[in-house]
Structure 1
Amino acid sequence: MSKHFLRPPGAVAEADFLGRCIRCGKCALACPYRAIRVAGLLDGLEIMGTPVILARKSPCYLCLKCVPVCPSGALESRVKKREQVRMGTARLNRKECLNWQGTFCRSCYDHCPLFNEAITMDGELRPVVNEKKCVGCGICEHVCPADPAAIIVTPRGAG
């Protein structure tokens, strides 16, 4: 697996997460959208058995049903509202973005659950990411019609 995966909402910092997660899979079972999958052997020994989200395939819809079922504290129960989630930050590649290249598109803007907050439109109706508001759910990456996606969520702590 590439390093391009997200952790579920409420995940503690990665090093701490790997120590706390008991690899029970309860968070994956609780997700009604099947966004959370359990990393397998081919994903690497260090993360094997831990929950991952591949935003391009299946983003997090911020239902937060995974958080209260975590028995180990790897997902912090203090996260109760979607605005509190910090899974990562969306990064927009203007060279790949259809809208920035002259083809009208509002996919990321229209589908963002924090509508007109995390992604806004500039004066020329081009998307702009507000990094302070973005929760990193990956919905924007999932719906982006560009191939490769023009907007990619960088996991928290990945820079």
Structure 2
Amino acid sequence: MALLKNLSLLLLSLLTLLGLGLVQPSYGQSTYQRFLREHVDSTGKGGTDLYCNTMMERRGMTRPRCKQFNTFIHDNIGTINNICNAPNIRCKNGNNNCHAGVVRVTDCRLTARSPQNCRYGARASSRRVVIACEGNPLVPVHLDS
């Protein structure tokens, strides 16, 4: 009986926190965490083939298959999150939850692959990116371009 009471209180507390917006549902957090893992490297300068080869492997984008193309953003997370405050624009999939901003990036493009090795070429630049944002507060969940 005490266990049931404790579980009920725990559930009530969680629902209260969700209602206050202090806890985001896990689907939003996992999508945001995936965006961070795949696209954000605030401390790195990037720009070299070695950078791309290292980061693509370190961030898990060479298994089970080599990812063809990936962009790493080198601005701080506050700057990246702030793109979500820019005016809405249409995403490639037709949704209207995308936002654009200019950031420093390294684009990594697959140049060669073997059964155990993915090789990437790098291109560093400052350019416009389009990011899909979701949640409350809005956070980036997908790099659209």
Normalised TM-score (structure 2): 0.24
More strand by share: 2
More helix by share: 2
Normalised TM-score (structure 1): 0.22
